[in-house]
Structure 1
Amino acid sequence: MLEKLESWFRDNGWTAFPFQREVWTAYLNGESGLVHSATGSGKTLAAWLGPLAEWIAENSEGRGEGKAPPLRVLWITPMRALAGDTALSMQRAVEGLGLPWTVGLRTGDTSSSERAKQDRKLPSALVTTPESLSLILSRADAREKLSDLRLVVVDEWHELLGNKRGVQAELCLARLRKWNPALRTWGLSATLGNLQEAMDRLVPRHEVALRHSREGGNPWVPASAGTTNDLRRIVKGVSDKKVIMDTLIPTDIDRFPWAGHLGLAMLGEVIEAIEGARSTLVFTNVRSSAELWYQGLLEAKPEWAGILGLHHGSLDADVRRYVEQGLKEGRMKAVVATSSLDLGVDFSPVDQVLQIGSAKGVARLLQRAGRSGHAPGQASRVTCVPSHALEFVEAAAARRAAMAGRIESRVPVDRPLDLLTQHLVTIAVGEGFEEAEMRSEVMSSAAYRDLTDAEWQWALDFVTRGGEALRAYPDYHKVELGEDGRYRVSQPAIAKRHRMSIGTIVSEASVNVQYMRGKRLGSVEESFIAHLAPGDAFIFAGHVLEFIRMEEMTAYVRPAKPGSATVPRWDGGRCPLSNEVSQSIRELLELHIDHREDEPEMRAISRLLKLQHSWSRIPRRHEMLVEQTETREGHHIFFYPFEGRSVHVGISALFAYRLARIRKASFSLGFTDYGFELVSRERFELLPLLKGGLVSTENLLEDMIASLNAAELSKRQFREIARVAGLVFQGYPGQPKTNRQVQATSGLIWEVFARWDPKNPLLGQAEREVLERQLEFTRLADGLKRIETSPILIRQTHKPTPFAFPIMVSRFREKLTSEKLVDRVKKMQLEFDKAAPPEADFADGDATGTVIPAKAGIQLKLLP
């Protein structure tokens, strides 16, 4: 059965990997599973060729007529750019094997004419997104059109696993398995730490056991293929793909910025690296940095116009497609991009990847490294380009974790009720549902396996009557129970609005950016445009633009003269430091103390580390350093847990709350991935406070909720939940509601729930999402437990130390413009440099301090 596949591989000069053959055979035996293999190692062909081999066998036995079969394969992808490239790869295989199969695309970018064609007849294989699949399921004829489906492939499963889009995929799969009990499901992933959990969410163990007992085997499997009682497996593919990870180190490291992400300190080195390669991807973590680097490179090398590209999610689709095609054809010398090019697109010509700033996570760095050498047998290369001194440590830490195989896990989302209500309306818009069957179907997914009676009844009441608080409003009576016992949406207007709102991707209202003469450039957030006055200049889509006016959610612009300009702000751009990288940073600092580190990045910033040790201390991996100092701003307390920015946001608020309970005080807070500071007018004596429970985990949840004004945070988070649950409609195409209108509506509903329905589950969900998603409460609790049981080093310093410098800058960032911030950082660093002694004069202990051993209460010791 596999001979034709092997022959096609030989004709192309390829040899199939053992893991690819394993997946083909497992598919033909009726199995489902998860493929975990390095980027560019052939996962697509591993999942795709099995169903083609199955059809070839059936056709050779006369069971087919040599015509294109109806829809057999659904390929779910997290990104539209990835969808297009995947479809091309699948089409090449079909043509190479000489098969009549058709391959189609169904995403938000699909034209109306193509959609109409698919509505008449779906292709043999359809590449789509979770949102588009939900739309398909909202059609009354969905069961009939999907009746021949045999395989669902979920590509880049790790990108969906940790968010509601993954849960949306789980609910869709539960429906497809109900219609097609022998359906097989395969997930593809390259960078994932919790493989077993990932497979359990994609292919629930209890559902597979039920299917096997119900069907007694797979009716589509040829008798010669054999049978198996184990219908799930994890297939580990190429894991030894060579990845080269290094760091650009400038010659004048002593003048390198100690903090900040806005400058182009390494511009010259980046240009030299780009010139030394045929093609380069320059990754940044946020779109604003991508705009700055693109502009900086183009100003320094104007001759690169036309061969230097910019790619991020806010640019117009035509611009993105042009850049993607230029990469594939080798026309682009370099492309500055964000995560919009992280996944799956086959860029064989790319020689190297540059990561501007820290990647913050091991998986993200490996994923981006895989964009180069994106073919079996080729080495991938990523070079880190630190934007400030301590990011040299982060680069070394990420490489250390990667080499040790410590890759981040993705924590799945459990029982989001907003998405459950959306899904119930989706199915009711389509063929409708019967209550008991629907509940059983929903609970067959791993995400809702523990759904309670109360939660189910609330969800059903919510979609039929609006719940306790909204039952007087007919607009929220979306689903009706018919005489046949099935729940359906009968009003066309409700069905239309719902189809336009399907999905879980919620962002701030965006504004089109368009030239006065008509060319559209992309979109920015409404809140950014709201701060511009006519005549203001800003950088977007690689151009310096002058804002003219705002009209019907469109910002009209014209080219501006080069000079001072601001950069658009996009929400959701911050990447918190992962636990794996945090752990490696603490390990590297301890190795430095013991003079055992051998990373070039650590040697590069040895002067800064020596200065830190001279003025204060460098903590070992199981210690926490606390510094106190006084400046003209007031009294500063700096804490260095090295747990990541998200955790530090929560802990800083917690400590400020606990200190204010002891003595009334106001604090200014600053935080980075390395630590945080509390600034107050009055000095606090830390020793009794630390011994008295400042870092205690006792009453942690209650204190966290009180310290962060959880009601206000939950109210903000509720906006997203209200949108997903269908409580807020964002408007029709061309007539979107403004961000202010959406916020006002969701805020009003929150107030109604809080007053008249305080036990509404959506309010509780908002609070949980604030704690887990925004503050990483579980990680925060673990970090605080580590601190509570670790020695604490207290240092009284004569001025802020190098470790304190970035934290202070992060606080200034909220008050100063980009240009003023850069000037302030340079001035501060110059003052630090003047205060530092010659390197030969560095000595330990230019401060006084105390050690509080683990479990405070043991006798204290003075630091030498």
Structure 2
Amino acid sequence: MSTSTSDWGGPSDQLSAAIEYHIVNALGWTQLRPLQQAAIAPVRSGADCLLIAPTAGGKTEAAMFPVLSNMVDDGWRGLTVIYVTPLKALLNNLHPRLEIYAAWVGRRVGLWHGDIGDGERRRILADPPDVLLTTPESLEAMLVSRRVDHRSFFATVRAIIIDELHAFASADRGWHLLAVLERIQRLAGRRIQRIGLSATVGNPDEILTWMQGSNTQTGVDRQVVADRGGTASAPDVTLDYVGSVENAAEVLSRLYVGEKRLVFCQSRAQAEELAFELRQRRVTTFVSHSSLSVDERRQSERAFAEARDCVIVATSTLELGIDIGDLDRMVQIDAPFSVASFLQRLGRTGRRPGTVRNALFLATDLDNFLRAAGLLHLWSRGYVEPVLPPPHPRHIAAQQFLALALQEGRFPANGWHDWWSGCAVMDDADEVLDYLRNEQYLVEDGGFIFIGPAAERDFGRRHFMDLLSSFIADLELRVVAGVREIGSVSPLSMTRDVVDGRKPLLLAGRAWKVQSVTWQKHEVVVNEDPEKGKVRWASEPIAESFEMMRARREVLLGVDPAVKLSKRATVRLEDGRLLHAEHVDDGGQVMQRGGMGVRFWTWGGLRANQTLIAAMGLADSAAASNEGILLPFEIGVGDLRRADVLEAVPWLAADAVAGLKFSAALPGALAQQTLAERFADRAGALRIATDPVALVPNSRE
């Protein structure tokens, strides 16, 4: 079977004839998906593009088919396309598929990441493939390696495809990727086309601009191409309350027998507990999470892909686009912390013709049940979180200066700007560079800058591998009592009195006295606090967003999430509303004055609440949770209105900067400010400070 040009669009939006032929005859496709068709013209034109579709929406093909068409029709030679993902597992998964596509037109695909051996690397360097699948860290390693002639290797690059762009953009790895790409673009001596692939995001235009970097200065065309799945059947989503992981296992052992079920858990410990309980019930069960070895995860994922009547229990490791075959059901134990994460997981289902996307939420306690209800309420309104790159990546600027000195041997003191061409990652670079020179991380001689003795001391072990290692996306601290891991907390929970042991840390329904905090290991060692009976202010240490918390407040005020509710869920929802009846009011945020102080039920999230505390100068005398703030007795509504939140940042322990990658290469105060700014929510704090307040008696004091 073959196809004519008219079947695939007119001259301005058609693929190469060879690609079209193989799509029909090798894949058996009679037509492209909407995103794939819509992406042809903008990608082939050379525009910077952001391609958006739900999980399994055909984004990889939407980018690769037109790029391969350009490669053939325009005679590209050498390494011309770099394909970047955040996960090695995703690269491994994509490699055989992209090899097939490239082979259609006589081209080759190479794979390079930390698990690839020296033999394969030497082959790639000796005879570069047309397409290279890799990670940002591996690109950096190639740039600084003396074994790689980086000028020759990257000279022919014309396009870069960034898969799971939202995952990069929300963390420092995204800033690092952009900075590395600017250096490769300078080596290539031409503008490199940038193509981002993403699930649904709330601010696509802003993310495309961010991805473009210095390309925004060249006037290059840009386009967001989105397939939001609007014509698909409405997803089948159910919220249930089961009360424990053991009960969740019992439900799963009885539901959907004979089907393939992917179950997401919120922690590794929960995933292991659920897997054990399922196996006790003779359910064929596989496990995937970050603490398992690569081989163990691959075996589980492969076995799950080939099986039918089974369950795979996973954390967020399977949220991104790794192919584990067709699924029948997605089950969520408790709730993720964002709508975007839920959409990723929901998109795992409904891929086969005649099936619909589906999700079953099984909540194990009331707090998680209410979080799920709030999340589903947000989702049903069509809300998706904006992706916000972390502000002020000064530490990445420091890393880039050191990496450039390694890459080039030296760089001109007055010409370094050319390497990043105004990329936003270097906005505060002058101050950073001054510090690096003053502290002898870098030294200047004859108008050129070289690696200095302090960099050799702090980063020089293992040939500067510390400069190339992974970044911390969201700094969370493991809480450990003896050999038992209790859970994780945000650094915002580590207030002065908690760190000093004067006040307990609240976690897993118990109070804990902090014995030590090791920021480099992201670990808090605790003992159970015998005074826990005196603790009366509930805390939820993992920071939730303002929007998630306000949606939960709306649920508590009587709005039902627009999904199916089980009978148990309906009862539990009423229980939750009764429990929090004094904490929500149609008239505004509830403020209760009692013997312990002023309880201010903001429902604004930990970051906004801590930012407001900082704006009011109360870091030593107020406490915050996601739900609200415990204020000193004398504080009133007028104090809220006078709070200046525009420059406020939450208090963080000075030692916390040890958890910020490359913080040693920044002045101490600047490193602390950089980290604190990342936990600020000024917009949420301003809403709290200006929204109506309902003053009510505190009947429980």
**TM-score (norm. length: structure 1):** 0.65
- State the 1:617 CA deviation: 6.2
Letter in 2 for 1:39: T
Assess if the C-alpha contact under 8 Å between 1:41 and 1:238 holds in 2.
no
Q: How does 1:294-373 map to 2 (within 5 A)?
A: 294-299=275-280, 301=281, 303-304=282-283, 307-330=284-307, 333-373=310-350
Matched with 1:192 is: 201
Matched with 2:416 is: 438
Matched with 2:366 is: 389
Matched with 1:154 is: 162
Given the alignment of the two structures, is residue 724 of structure 1 paired with residue 628 of structure 2, yes or no? no
Task: Determine which of 403, 408, 411 is the counterpart of 1:426.
Answer: 403
Q: Secondary structure at the match of 2:464?
A: helix
Task: Determine which of 249, 253, 265 is the counterpart of 2:240.
Answer: 249
- State the 1:628 CA deviation: 6.0
Q: How many equivalent pairs are there?
A: 626
The structure-2 alpha-carbon separation of the partners of 1:704 and 1:445, relative to structure 1 and needing over 3 Å to count, comes to: closer
Matched with 1:46 is: 62
Distance in 1, matches of 2:233 and 2:336, equals: 19
Q: Secondary structure at the match of 2:408?
A: coil
The structure-2 alpha-carbon separation of the partners of 1:331 and 1:118, relative to structure 1 and needing over 3 Å to count, comes to: farther
Please, what is the CA RMSD of the aligned residues? Answer: 3.8
Distance in 1, matches of 2:354 and 2:672, equals: 47
Given the alignment of the two structures, is residue 625 of structure 1 paired with residue 590 of structure 2, yes or no? yes
Matched with 1:232 is: 222
- State the 1:327 CA deviation: 2.7
Task: Determine which of 254, 269, 278 is the counterpart of 1:272.
Answer: 254
Assess if the C-alpha contact under 8 Å between 1:326 and 1:332 holds in 2.
no
Distance in 2, matches of 1:796 and 1:316, equals: 52
Given the alignment of the two structures, is residue 24 of structure 1 paired with residue 40 of structure 2, yes or no? yes
Q: Secondary structure at the match of 1:625?
A: strand
The structure-2 alpha-carbon separation of the partners of 1:496 and 1:6, relative to structure 1 and needing over 3 Å to count, comes to: same
Matched with 1:698 is: 643
Letter in 2 for 1:362: V
Task: Determine which of 620, 635, 643 is the counterpart of 1:689.
Answer: 635
Matched with 1:282 is: 263
Q: Secondary structure at the match of 2:670?
A: helix
The structure-2 alpha-carbon separation of the partners of 1:415 and 1:287, relative to structure 1 and needing over 3 Å to count, comes to: same
Letter in 2 for 1:689: I
Assess if the C-alpha contact under 8 Å between 1:612 and 1:618 holds in 2.
no
- State the 1:436 CA deviation: 4.0
Distance in 2, matches of 1:340 and 1:133, equals: 23
Matched with 1:764 is: 670
The structure-2 alpha-carbon separation of the partners of 1:242 and 1:489, relative to structure 1 and needing over 3 Å to count, comes to: farther
Matched with 1:847 is: none
Distance in 2, matches of 1:317 and 1:89, equals: 20
- State the 1:331 CA deviation: 6.2
The structure-2 alpha-carbon separation of the partners of 1:650 and 1:461, relative to structure 1 and needing over 3 Å to count, comes to: closer
Letter in 2 for 1:698: A
Letter in 2 for 1:74: I
Matched with 1:792 is: 694
Matched with 1:499 is: 465
- State the 1:414 CA deviation: 4.1
- State the 1:350 CA deviation: 1.8
- State the 1:585 CA deviation: 2.3
Distance in 1, matches of 2:668 and 2:185, equals: 28
Distance in 1, matches of 2:19 and 2:344, equals: 28
Deviations 1:387-435 (A, max 9, x none): 2235444333322322332100121234422211211221221234334
- State the 1:378 CA deviation: 5.4
- State the 1:313 CA deviation: 1.1
Q: Secondary structure at the match of 2:201?
A: coil
Assess if the C-alpha contact under 8 Å between 2:394 and 2:674 holds in 1.
no
Q: Secondary structure at the match of 1:334?
A: strand
Assess if the C-alpha contact under 8 Å between 1:589 and 1:619 holds in 2.
no
Q: Secondary structure at the match of 1:616?
A: helix
Assess if the C-alpha contact under 8 Å between 1:503 and 1:724 holds in 2.
no
Assess if the C-alpha contact under 8 Å between 1:77 and 1:128 holds in 2.
yes
Given the alignment of the two structures, is residue 773 of structure 1 paired with residue 658 of structure 2, yes or no? no
Q: How does 1:639-678 map to 2 (within 5 A)?
A: 639-648=600-609, 657=618, 660=621, 671=625, 673-675=626-628
Deviations 1:197-241 (A, max 9, x none): 10111114x63553x6xxxxxxxxxxxxxxxxx521111124324
Matched with 2:432 is: 459
Distance in 1, matches of 2:561 and 2:194, equals: 48
Letter in 1 for 2:425: A
Letter in 2 for 1:531: G
Matched with 1:70 is: 78
Matched with 2:529 is: none
Assess if the C-alpha contact under 8 Å between 2:202 and 2:386 holds in 1.
yes
Distance in 2, matches of 1:499 and 1:322, equals: 29
Given the alignment of the two structures, is residue 587 of structure 1 paired with residue 596 of structure 2, yes or no? no
Q: Secondary structure at the match of 1:619?
A: coil
Given the alignment of the two structures, is residue 100 of structure 1 paired with residue 106 of structure 2, yes or no? yes
- State the 1:38 CA deviation: 1.6
Q: How does 1:126-141 map to 2 (within 5 A)?
A: 126-139=132-145, 141=149
Matched with 2:582 is: 616
Letter in 2 for 1:440: D
Assess if the C-alpha contact under 8 Å between 2:339 and 2:383 holds in 1.
yes
The structure-2 alpha-carbon separation of the partners of 1:390 and 1:459, relative to structure 1 and needing over 3 Å to count, comes to: closer
Matched with 2:24 is: 10
Assess if the C-alpha contact under 8 Å between 1:42 and 1:376 holds in 2.
no
Distance in 2, matches of 1:26 and 1:194, equals: 20
Distance in 1, matches of 2:16 and 2:563, equals: 49
Distance in 2, matches of 1:508 and 1:407, equals: 19
Assess if the C-alpha contact under 8 Å between 1:277 and 1:351 holds in 2.
no
Task: Determine which of 128, 138, 143 is the counterpart of 1:122.
Answer: 128
- State the 1:179 CA deviation: 2.8
- State the 1:506 CA deviation: 4.2
Deviations 1:149-185 (A, max 9, x none): 1110111111111221111011112112223314211
Distance in 1, matches of 2:91 and 2:563, equals: 43
- State the 1:586 CA deviation: 2.9
Matched with 2:425 is: 447
Assess if the C-alpha contact under 8 Å between 2:159 and 2:194 holds in 1.
yes
Task: Point out the more displaced range, 336-345 or 420-429.
Answer: 420-429
Matched with 2:274 is: 293
Task: Determine which of 682, 691, 714 is the counterpart of 2:654.
Answer: 714
Distance in 1, matches of 2:619 and 2:299, equals: 54
Distance in 1, matches of 2:177 and 2:475, equals: 25
The structure-2 alpha-carbon separation of the partners of 1:767 and 1:242, relative to structure 1 and needing over 3 Å to count, comes to: farther
Distance in 2, matches of 1:391 and 1:779, equals: 25
Unaligned runs of 5+ in 1: 213-229, 251-255, 511-523, 541-568, 661-666, 679-683, 728-759, 800-864
Assess if the C-alpha contact under 8 Å between 2:611 and 2:682 holds in 1.
no
- State the 1:191 CA deviation: 2.4
The structure-2 alpha-carbon separation of the partners of 1:445 and 1:503, relative to structure 1 and needing over 3 Å to count, comes to: farther
Matched with 1:562 is: none
The structure-2 alpha-carbon separation of the partners of 1:610 and 1:238, relative to structure 1 and needing over 3 Å to count, comes to: closer
Distance in 2, matches of 1:691 and 1:428, equals: 54
Deviations 1:69-117 (A, max 9, x none): 521211111112212112232123234x2x3322222222223333333
The structure-2 alpha-carbon separation of the partners of 1:85 and 1:197, relative to structure 1 and needing over 3 Å to count, comes to: same
The structure-2 alpha-carbon separation of the partners of 1:643 and 1:31, relative to structure 1 and needing over 3 Å to count, comes to: same
Unaligned runs of 5+ in 2: 1-14, 488-520, 525-539
